[in-house]
Chains A and B, each alone.
Chain A
Amino acid sequence: MKKSRLPMVLLGVGLAFLYLPIVLLVVYSFNDNRSLTVWTGASLRWYHELIQDGQMLEAAWLSLRIAFATACGAVVLGTLAGLMLARFGAFRGRALFAGMISAPLVMPEVIMGLALLLLFVSAEQLIGWPAGRGVLTIVLAHITFTMSFVAVVIQSRLVSMDVSLEEAAMDLGARPAKVFFVITLPIIAPAIVSGWLLAFTLSLDDLVITSFVSGPGSTTLPMIVFSSIRLGLKPEINALATIVVAVVATGIGLAGFLEARRARIREREESQAGRV
């Protein structure tokens, strides 16, 4: 059957659509001009202004700390949730649980943000905790919406995993907890790492939910970026974007390299095992 070239051409056009804006941001971050559209010469002027913006740096540091705490919490809860959905069969309240874990994937953020804020305000009125809004409430809110994404990643890995190893361990008398820590956890470790990174990125990037649940003194990086670009274009943001893109590209490149090396080693070991 002759294969049409059309989809491949459209894929190329689509990828150009996805990447062109990002490439433009990166290129213009080195432009020595405020206008953003006229190229006047290469310079690192905006990077210089960015690192001198104390408010921005402080917010970035806060965002990184929140993202770290969020990712650690979300990866624990999300892994357990993925395990429940993939391995626990039917338990009481499974339908409600499945609904609650997948709803945040699509729930509009304004609704989630408002609902969580009202929860924190009501809880403070009732039991005096959490006292005021700040880093703690942001982390709690972020864990709630990112754990769903982690659960999806973990669950799909568990469903595609070969269960015979777990079964063998259980046949040999290992307790479920031991099976999980000795067999399952090492196998799904790459999925856990990507779940952690996904939660970290989502938390680092969130504006809407954060704005609802943050308090005075807990202004995150997206909040600063949003309020400054709302008033117009700011070239420092291009420099910031370029740094983000560089970090992400390095991370993904590194992950791809490690994955490829792992695959090569596995292939070699398998072929050696085959010879024996």
Chain B
Amino acid sequence: MPVPPPSAAPQPSAVPPSVAPRTLKDRVLRVTRRLGLTGRGGVILGPYAWLVLFFFIPFLIVLKISVAEPAVGIPPFTKLIEWVDGGLDVHIRFSGFQALFDDDLYVLAYLNSLKIAFVSTLCCLFIGYPMAYAIATAPEKRRGPLLMLIILPFWTSFLIRVYAWMSILKDEGLLNNLLLSLGIIHEPLKILYTDLAVYIGITYSYLPFMILPLYATLEKMDHTLLEAAADLGAKPWKAFLTITLPLSLPGIVAGSLLVFIPAVGEFVIPSLLGGSDTLMIGRELWNLFFNSRDWPSASAVAIALLAFLVGPIMIFQHFQGRDQDKGAAR
């Protein structure tokens, strides 16, 4: 007989101890319940209020300041609405956004960021997929340790891993020394401080983010499907393309977005590995903010970047939410 799943957190009304309050705890509980502050509501309030205050409201402020006028002073922008001589004075300007379109620098930086993030995501996918596949099809006992090996670099400092590539890729670095000593090249390749180094750095740093969701979908896959395909005479490659690949699509999408979205706004990798001509929008935002101290324009860049990323972020949350809905269904 199907039993309806009992709610793990029943309404507080389900536990009304109608005995007189004897302990302090009981008394406190009665008071809070009378105030309408149930345990469940109280639990929800904490994280909810935190995220509204420190995540949601900040974006509204960014939006507000993106249309403010830059000013000399602290903070370096004007108030939007001011009472001047008894009248309401409104200062709203869109020149911050206007500059984004007028100045080639920003348009190029946006396009270049999208290009670099896209290509790096593809590199992560091509390197990460076979790795995730190999772990998912390894004997069950070995999967845990292998997965650990993937996660381990993530626990060491990101900054230090990028730094490691600086010493590998520089002109007299290890890669050039190796290639020179093998006689493959005759003069050092210039890799550090070019776009190529940025591709390598992003692919390297974000690879674990691609592998983990891929592994999660591949591991859940029903392997009898592949056996059935083989029994029916499908070649392994054909079986892979028609069964494994489509079934792992959610993992591919989730992993790609986990790499692509942060990579578009990446700052550290282009500024350490890229050249001065490596335009990326995260770097431009940083320069506007820290070097030019033009907070309104930096906010406009942030809003425009966010507008690009809202779509991918929503798709990511859709996939993320599928796990959460399992929890909601309880």
A residues sitting closer than 8 Å to B (CB atoms) are 1-4, 6-8, 10-11, 14-15, 17-19, 21-22, 24-25, 28, 35-37, 77-78, 80-81, 83-91, 93-94, 97-111, 114-116, 118-119, 121-122, 125, 140-141, 143-144, 147, 151, 155-156, 158-159, 163, 166-167, 170, 173, 175-177, 201, 204-205, 207-208, 211-212, 222, 225-226, 229-230, 233, 237, 240-241, 244-245, 248-249, 252, 256
Q: Is the CB of A110 within 8 A of B328?
A: no
Q: Assuming A80-B43, A87-B9, what are 19 further A-B pairs, CB within 8 angstroms?
A: A1-B236, A10-B131, A11-B130, A15-B149, A18-B207, A18-B208, A21-B165, A86-B324, A89-B328, A89-B330, A91-B44, A102-B317, A105-B316, A106-B262, A108-B266, A108-B305, A166-B8, A176-B9, A252-B148
Q: Which of B88-96, B97-105, B167-175, B245-253 contacts the other chain?
A: B167-175
Contact with A along B251-283 (1 / 0, CB 8 A): 000000110011011111001100000000010
* A18 and chain B: residue at smallest CB distance: B153
Q: Is the CB of A205 within 8 A of B43?
A: no
Query: Which residues of chain B come closer than 8 Å to A24, judged between CB atoms?
Result: 164, 167-168, 174
Bound complex: CA A248 to CA B153 (Å): 9
A177 to chain B minimum Cβ distance, whole angstroms, is 5
Q: Is the CB of B272 within 8 A of A107?
A: no
Bound complex: CA A261 to CA B73 (Å): 61
Query: Which residues of chain A come closer than 8 Å to B327, judged between CB atoms?
Result: 85-87, 155, 158-159
* A108 and chain B: residue at smallest CB distance: B265
A89 to chain B minimum Cβ distance, whole angstroms, is 6
Q: Is the interface of A mostly helix, strand, loop or mixed?
A: helix
Q: Is the CB of A7 within 8 A of B153?
A: no
Q: Is the CB of B302 within 8 A of A107?
A: no
Query: Which residues of chain A come closer than 8 Å to B62, judged between CB atoms?
Result: 111, 114-115, 118
* A174 and chain B: residue at smallest CB distance: B15
26 CB < 8 A contacts A-B? A1-B227, A10-B130, A10-B134, A18-B149, A18-B208, A21-B204, A24-B164, A25-B164, A89-B7, A90-B328, A103-B313, A110-B282, A111-B305, A115-B62, A118-B65, A119-B58, A121-B75, A143-B50, A155-B327, A159-B326, A170-B6, A170-B8, A201-B155, A207-B268, A233-B163, A241-B156
Query: Which residues of chain A come closer than 8 Å to B268, judged between CB atoms?
Result: 207-208, 226
- Among A28, A99, A111, contact of B317 (Cβ-Cβ < 8 Å): A99
Q: Is the CB of A207 within 8 A of B159?
A: yes
Bound complex: CA A237 to CA B207 (Å): 23
Bound complex: CA A244 to CA B157 (Å): 7
Given A100-B56, A106-B257, A111-B330 contact (CB < 8 Å): no
* A79 and chain B: residue at smallest CB distance: B47
Q: Is the CB of A14 within 8 A of B130?
A: yes
B158 to chain A minimum Cβ distance, whole angstroms, is 5
- Among B47, B157, B264, B317, contact of A108 (Cβ-Cβ < 8 Å): B264
B235 to chain A minimum Cβ distance, whole angstroms, is 11
Query: Which residues of chain A come closer than 8 Å to B302, judged between CB atoms?
Result: 110-111, 114-115
Q: Is the CB of B9 within 8 A of A89?
A: yes
Given A35-B172, A37-B172, A77-B47 contact (CB < 8 Å): yes
Bound complex: CA A237 to CA B166 (Å): 12
Bound complex: CA A245 to CA B170 (Å): 23
- Among B160, B306, B323, contact of A240 (Cβ-Cβ < 8 Å): B160
Q: Is the CB of B324 within 8 A of A98?
A: yes
Q: Is the CB of A84 within 8 A of B43?
A: yes
B174 to chain A minimum Cβ distance, whole angstroms, is 6
Given A19-B153, A22-B156, A118-B65, A107-B131 contact (CB < 8 Å): no
Q: Is the CB of A167 within 8 A of B6?
A: yes
Is the C-beta of B179 less than 8 angstroms from some C-beta in chain A?
A: no
- Among A14, A78, A102, A244, contact of B156 (Cβ-Cβ < 8 Å): A244
Query: Which residues of chain A come closer than 8 Å to B47, judged between CB atoms?
Result: 77-78, 80-81, 84, 97, 101, 147, 151
* A80 and chain B: residue at smallest CB distance: B47
Is the C-beta of B121 less than 8 angstroms from some C-beta in chain A?
A: no
- Among B40, B173, B289, contact of A176 (Cβ-Cβ < 8 Å): B40
Q: Is the CB of B265 within 8 A of A110?
A: yes
Query: Which residues of chain A come closer than 8 Å to B43, judged between CB atoms?
Result: 80, 83-84, 88
Query: Which residues of chain B come closer than 8 Å to A244, judged between CB atoms?
Result: 156-157, 160
